[in-house]
């Protein structure tokens, strides 16, 4: 594998990775920052896409077009939508989809997919990285991650999303990144540290746990770079 693309929505989510990389160049394209360098001897391009699906999709397409990457790892934080997924746990994407786009639209219009599958080799690599980094106070899970254009902090909406999609967690970028990766035939995986339970207390818990959860996810990516 020649060059790994790594995307985070916020600087908080890529800060640890930037600190650990040997930076050779920074480029700004269409308002997005791309950091070129090496981590653990591997060529990487780290991108900050900002929040939301359109930003994530735009940043991902530029990453693919301009930097000749071989795969994409999306790192960041999310809200739990599964009873077994606790705050500070990690979710690895089995697949990704949108919770605010109908299944009929996904299925009947290009690219005719209800969800986008994470790459099996990258999932296996993420699992190995979790096992290497794992501490006793958190667990990792492999499951569906859903994305949409809002921070979920409403228990009724949370229940509705769970009933419709049976996801493990919810965030705002992963499905768009997976979507663009799929139509470009680029392998991807989404990794999310859990900062909150996507319920009525979500904002309070997010403020407390966002940094810890972001660093859990980033540390898994760092370990992936060691064993890739």
Residues 175 and 145 sit within 8 Å (Cβ to Cβ): yes
- Three-class DSSP category at 83: coil
With vertex at residue 225, the alpha carbon angle to CA 184 and CA 211, rounded to the nearest 5 degrees, is 95
Residues 184 and 70 sit within 8 Å (Cβ to Cβ): no
Q: Copy the structure tokens of residue 150.
A: 């809002």
Q: Pick the catalytic residue: 13, 173, 199, 210?
A: 13
Q: Copy the structure tokens of residue 215.
A: 């660093």
Q: Pick the catalytic residue: 171, 196, 199, 210?
A: 196
13 counts as catalytic: yes
Cβ-based neighbours of 216, under 8 Å, separated by 6 or more: 88, 90, 138, 193
196 counts as catalytic: yes
Instruction: Kindly report the backbone phi and psi dihedral angles of residue 87, in degrees, each rounded to the nearest multiple of 5, phi listed first.
Output: -60, 135
Active site residues: 13, 196
């Amino acid at each position: 594998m020649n060059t790994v693309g790594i995307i985070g929505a916020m600087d908080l989510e890529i800060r640890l990775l930037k600190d650990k990389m040997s930076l050779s160049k920074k480029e700004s394209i269409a308002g997005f920052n791309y950091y070129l360098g090496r981590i653990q001897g591997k060529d990487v391009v780290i991108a900050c896409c900002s929040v939301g699906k359109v930003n994530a999709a735009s940043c991902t397409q530029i990453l693919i077009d301009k930097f000749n990457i071989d795969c994409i790892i999306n790192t960041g934080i999310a809200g739990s939508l599964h009873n077994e997924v606790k705050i500070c746990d990690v979710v690895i994407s089995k697949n990704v989809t949108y919770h605010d786009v109908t299944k009929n639209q996904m299925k009947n219009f290009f690219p005719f997919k209800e969800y986008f599958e994470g790459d099996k080799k990258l999932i296996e690599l993420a699992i190995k990285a979790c096992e290497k980094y794992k501490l006793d106070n958190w667990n990792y899970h492999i499951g569906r991650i859903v994305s949409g254009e809002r921070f979920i902090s409403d228990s009724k909406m949370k229940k509705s999303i769970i009933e419709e999609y049976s996801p493990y967690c919810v965030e705002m970028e992963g499905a768009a990144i997976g979507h663009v990766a799929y139509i470009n035939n680029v392998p991807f995986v989404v990794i999310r540290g859990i900062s909150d339970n996507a319920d009525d207390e979500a904002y309070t818990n997010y403020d407390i746990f966002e940094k810890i959860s972001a660093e859990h996810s980033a540390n898994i990516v760092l370990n992936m770079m060691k064993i890739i």
